[in-house]
């Protein structure tokens, strides 16, 4: 937790913008550089900055531990879920074409966006959990 | 519209993966154990069905294997799952052992793992099984590396959760982490070299491209790196140093799972790469020099592993060093590339998993009731816990290879193959190993039956879930020792498929 007014003010201003930038990288990943891994790290970095500036109690209130734990699993489940949809429709695992049978390119775009969202969710929450554990919480 | 493809292959990895991801959410209290039990049970069922399907097809068209393109992208550009008889046999073994050990370990995990970590324990547990099964069924070389890392990283975590998180468990996990990472890097370097050489990562495609190109330094270097890396993963002497400490300090459930499955999967990787990727036509699978080097390692493993086992202060360490020796048997059979030796090798993988898994479960019972496996605390165990010590003796007889136990059947095929392929020295080592095994088994018998009963207090009862898996595993080793027909046929077909020999 920092006492410097300059750091806290600028950090507080930057926090939402880092989140938005993370979302941009997340959505952009399908057609260009970016994607779930990078976006996940950016989002996690925003919360780490928040914890450094305002103390981890406040960050925990903003983003409770149980939610982070849940997000770790939900991200992977989202990825697997897209795959299982293919199985349920009688195609191969992770076959995107079932998402939009009439338009393969749209189906692929949708499938990749969903899968990347799962990756982003898991990466962000795993990085946050790692930082939390290194901080020596609950061990 | 194409007919619906069979989804069995992908379910083999999908089920434990979903279970592993659900465990942190649902795994509080008894639910983690139930989830793991149901998941491993279903996976075993799927693996066994797949095995039966492949066996039935194999009878019609020899050399049959199931291919499953993930995402519908056909190989060699897409990633495919490729399951042949050996993969399916070992996948059934791994998932079945996973089920047995899960069934065994409810109270054990409650006893040894702090409650706030249990749901993560079951998550790591299922993810480790996912990784091991994935290695067995993938047809993509890079996938092997990724799945190897999944199984290894989770196993490091599982070992570090060892008894009361003692310093030894953490040290053992760190040792394994360092050595295991070196091994995995070697495997990655080998795969990288193969990719540089052939421009593909699909194993069948690499093999096809290698057949067209002359053998050069790149391929030989790749093979050397691969053998060293796989040697570390399977704990082949002299690369076994991480294993005894890891097995003896890990939670008892983890030790049983590792001893029964993890090293077997390492050996499978070796077999798969040597015989399905590097194999050259009309040539011996391994050159005379390679057979000499690996054969010497196996001989040394059998000799020093058995002798070290006889000197260990605790039953867990004794069993771990005995595993070092048993891995020597398995690898020696696959090295010479003879059909009978290969059959023996595959049989010994299965039987050793049953017997050593059963023995480590017995050690788990001792930890649960006595809190220790130190041999001096086990004095007079034959009177205090007659059934458990009888079970340990039965498993020990299998380690020696007494006729009537499963260990005899696999050693018989090993010996036959080694002698027929002209390696009498290696055959001699296998025979000597049986004598040496008798020494370490006798040590337990002497402590348990010929010494007055000790006074270490017994705690806890002996619940049914703990007796049942031990009975099934060690019972199976006796039944298969007397009636080995089914498994021998399977192993022989798998060996034929792997060596590309027509019956």
- Nearest in space to B190 (alpha carbons), one of B139, B228, B152, B226: B226
Q: How many residues does chain B have?
A: 503
Q: Flag the least confident range among B258-272, B351-365, B379-393, B427-441.
A: B379-393
d(CA A39, CA A23): 7
Alpha-helical (H) ranges within B67-162 are 85-104, 106-112, 118-137, 141-160
Paired tokens of A65: 């531990």
Q: How many of the other CB atoms lie within 10 Å of CB of B100?
A: 25
Interface contact flag, A69 B24, Cβ < 8 Å:
yes
- For residue B91, pLDDT beyond 90: yes
φ and ψ at residue B280, rounded to 5 degrees? -105, 150
Residues of B in contact with A121 (CB under 8 A): none
Mean pLDDT of all residues belonging to chain B = 86
CA proximity to B270, closest of B297, B251, B249: B297
Task: Find the CB nearest A93 among B10, B18, B24.
Answer: B10
Please give the distance of CA B396 from its chain centroid, rounded to a whole number: 18
User: A73–B70: do the CB atoms touch at under 8 Å?
Assistant: no
Task: Indicate the helix (H) or strand (E) that contains B480.
Answer: helix B464-482
Query: Could you tell me which residues come within 8 angstroms of residue B45 by beta carbon, excluding any fewer than 6 positions away?
Result: none
Whether chain B has a CB inside 8 Å of the CB on A72: the answer is yes
A96–chain B Cβ distance below 8 A for any pair: yes
A121 occurs within a structural domain: yes
Tokens of A133: 């554990």
The encoded tokens of residue B234 equal 């399977």
pLDDT score of B97 more than 80: yes
The span from the CA of B66 to the CA of B83, in Å, is 5
pLDDT tens per residue across span B452-461: 877 777 777 7
Q: Is A43 a member of any domain?
A: yes
Distance CA B32, CA B26 (A): 7
Number of C-beta neighbours around residue B282 at 10 A: 4
pLDDT value of residue A100? 82
**A69 interfaces chain B, CB cutoff of 8 Å:** yes
**Looking at chain A, which residue has its C-alpha nearest residue B2?**
A91
- Give the confidence band of B229 by pLDDT, cuts at 50, 70, 90: very high
- B70: which chain A residues are within 8 Å (Cβ-Cβ)? 92-94
List chain A residues with CB under 8 Å of B69.
92
B129, B130, B132, B135 alpha-carbon torsion, rounded to 10°: 170
Handedness of CA A48, A49, A52, A56 (dihedral sign): negative
Residues B421/B338, Cβ–Cβ less than 8 Å: yes
8 Å CB contact of A87 and B71:
no
CA separation for the pair B40, B106 (Å, rounded): 14
- The CA distance from B390 to B412, in Å, is 25
- Decide if A73 and B4 are in contact by the 8 Å CB cutoff: no
E strand or H helix that includes residue A20: helix A5-28
Q: How many CB pairs under 8 A join A and B?
A: 48
Task: Place B284 in a pLDDT band, splitting at 50, 70 and 90.
Answer: low
Distance (Å, whole) CA A128 – CA A122 = 10
Interface-testing mutation among B3, B19, B21, B122, with chain A (most A C-beta atoms within 10 A)? B21
pTM of the model: 0.91
Host H or E run for residue B80: strand B80-83
Which of B5, B117, B120, B138 to mutate: most A Cβ within 10 Å?
Answer: B5
Query: What is the C-alpha separation between B420 and A18, in angstroms, rounded?
Result: 70
Q: What total of structural domains would you count in chain A?
A: 1
The 3-state secondary structure of B299-351 reads HHHHHHHHHHHCCCCEHHHHHHHHHHHHHHHHHHHHHCCCHHHHHHHHHHHHH
CB contact under 8 A, A73 and B5: no
Gap between the Cα atoms of B444 and B436, Å rounded:
14
Confidence category of residue B2, pLDDT binned at 50, 70, 90: very low
Structural domain range at position A49: 5-134
Which residues on A lie below 8 Å from B71 (Cβ)? Answer: 86, 92-96
Q: Is residue A139 part of a domain?
A: no
The answer, for B25 touching chain A at a CB cutoff of 8 Å, is yes
Q: By CA distance, what is A87's nearest residue in B?
A: B7
- Residue from the list A76, A83, A93 with its beta carbon closest to the beta carbon of B21: A76
**CB spacing of A76 vs B5 below 8 angstroms:** no
A80 part of contact set with chain B, CB < 8 Å? yes
Return residues 119-138 of A near B (CB < 8 Å).
138
Task: Decide if B400 contacts B452 (C-beta within 8 A).
Answer: no
In a domain, A25, yes or no: yes
**Cβ-Cβ contacts under 8 Å, B22 against chain A:** 73, 77
Report the half-sphere exposure of A30 (CA within 13 A, side-chain side): 16
B303 and B433 Cβ atoms separated by less than 8 Å: yes
pLDDT classification of B3: cutoffs 50, 70, 90: very low
Q: How confident is the model at residue B1 (pLDDT cuts 50, 70, 90)?
A: very low
Half-sphere exposure of B41 (CA within 13 A, CB side): 9
Are the beta carbons of B157 and B235 closer than 8 angstroms? no
- Of the pLDDT bands very low, low, confident and very high (cuts 50, 70, 90), residue B464 is confident
Q: Residue A80's closest chain B neighbor by CA?
A: B18
d(CA B179, CA B106): 31
Per CB-CB distance under 8 Å, the chain B contacts of A126 are none
Q: Report the alpha-carbon angle B345-B349-B350, nearest 5.
A: 120
With a cut of 70, say whether residue B280 has pLDDT above it. no
Average pLDDT of chain A is 86
Burial class (CB in 10 A: 0-12, 13-18, 19+), B297: buried
- pLDDT tens per residue across span B134-176: 999 998 999 999 999 999 999 998 888 866 556 778 888 888 8
> Looking at the complex, does the CB of residue B72 fall below 8 Å from at least one CB of chain A?
yes
- How far B157 CA sits from the closest chain A CA (Å)? 14
Question: Among A76, A77, A92, whose Cβ lies nearest the Cβ of B71?
Answer: A92
Are B106 and B40 in contact, with CB atoms under 8 Å apart?
no
B7 touches chain A (CB under 8 A): yes
CA of A13 vs chain B CAs: smallest distance (Å): 34
Is A77 within 8 Å of B70 when comparing Cβ atoms?
Answer: no
First CA to last CA across chain B, in angstroms?
A: 38
Environment class of B199 (CB within 10 Å of its CB; exposed 0-12, middle 13-18, buried 19+): exposed
Domain map of chain B by residue range? 307-503
């Amino acid at each position: 937790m920092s006492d410097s007014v300059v750091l806290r003010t600028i950090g507080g201003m930057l926090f939402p913008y880092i989140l938005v930038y993370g979302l941009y990288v997340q959505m952009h990943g399908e057609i260009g550089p970016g994607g779930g891994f990078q976006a996940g790290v950016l989002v996690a970095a925003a919360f780490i900055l928040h914890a450094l500036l305002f103390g981890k109690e406040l960050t925990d209130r903003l983003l409770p531990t149980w939610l982070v734990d849940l997000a770790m699993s939900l991200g992977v489940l989202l990825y697997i879920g897209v795959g299982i949809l293919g199985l349920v429709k009688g195609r191969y695992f992770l076959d995107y074409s079932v998402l939009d049978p009439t338009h393969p390119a749209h189906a692929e775009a949708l499938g990749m966006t969903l899968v990347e969202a799962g990756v982003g969710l898991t990466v962000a929450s795993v990085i946050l959990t790692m930082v939390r554990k290194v901080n020596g919480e609950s061990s | 519209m194409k007919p619906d493809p069979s989804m069995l292959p992908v379910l083999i990895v999908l089920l434990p993966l979903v279970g592993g991801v659900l465990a942190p959410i649902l795994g509080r209290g008894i639910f983690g154990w139930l989830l793991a039990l149901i998941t491993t049970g279903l996976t075993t069922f799927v693996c066994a069905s797949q095995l039966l399907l492949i066996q039935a097809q194999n009878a019609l068209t020899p050399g049959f294997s199931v291919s499953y393109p993930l995402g519908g992208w056909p190989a060699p550009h897409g990633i495919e799952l490729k399951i042949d008889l050996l993969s399916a046999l070992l996948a059934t073994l791994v998932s079945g052992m996973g089920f047995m050990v899960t069934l065994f370990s409810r109270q054990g995990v409650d006893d040894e793992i702090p409650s706030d970590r249990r749901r993560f324990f079951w998550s790591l547990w299922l993810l480790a099984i996912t990784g091991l099964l994935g290695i067995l069924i993938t047809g993509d070389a890079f996938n092997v590396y990724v799945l190897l890392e999944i199984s290894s990283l989770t196993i490091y975590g599982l070992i570090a959760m060892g008894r009361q998180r003692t310093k030894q468990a953490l040290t053992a996990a760190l040792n394994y982490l360092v050595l295991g990472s070196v091994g995995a890097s070697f495997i990655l370097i080998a795969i990288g070299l193969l990719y540089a050489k052939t421009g593909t990562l699909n194993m069948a495609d690499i093999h096809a491209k290698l057949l067209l190109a002359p053998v050069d330094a790149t391929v030989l270097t790749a093979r050397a790196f691969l053998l060293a890396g796989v040697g570390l993963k399977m704990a082949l002497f002299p690369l076994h140093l991480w294993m005894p400490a890891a097995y003896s300090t890990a939670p008892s459930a983890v030790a049983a799972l590792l001893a029964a499955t993890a090293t077997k999967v390492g050996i499978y990787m070796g077999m798969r790469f040597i015989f399905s990727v590097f194999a050259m036509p009309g040539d011996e699978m391994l050159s005379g020099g390679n057979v000499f080097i690996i054969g010497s390692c196996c001989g040394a493993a059998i000799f020093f592993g058995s002798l070290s086992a006889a000197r260990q202060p605790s039953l867990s360490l004794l069993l771990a060093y005995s595993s070092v020796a048993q891995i020597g048997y398995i690898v020696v059979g696959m090295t010479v590339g003879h059909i009978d030796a290969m059959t023996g090798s595959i049989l010994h993988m299965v039987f050793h998993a049953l017997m050593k898994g059963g023995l480590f479960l017995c050690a788990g019972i001792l930890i649960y009731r006595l809190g220790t496996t130190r041999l001096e605390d086990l004095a007079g165990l034959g009177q205090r816990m007659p059934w458990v010590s009888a079970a340990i003796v039965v498993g020990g007889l299998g380690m020696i290879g007494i006729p009537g136990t499963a260990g005899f059947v696999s050693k018989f095929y090993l010996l036959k193959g080694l002698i027929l392929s002209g390696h009498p020295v290696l055959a001699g080592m296998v025979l000597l190993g049986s004598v040496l095994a008798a020494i370490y088994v006798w040590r337990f018998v002497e402590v348990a039956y010929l010494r007055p009963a000790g006074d270490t207090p017994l705690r806890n009862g002996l619940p049914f879930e703990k007796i049942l898996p031990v009975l099934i595993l060690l019972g199976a080793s006796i039944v298969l020792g007397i009636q080995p027909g089914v498994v021998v046929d399977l192993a022989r077909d798998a060996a034929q498929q792997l060596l590309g020999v027509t019956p």
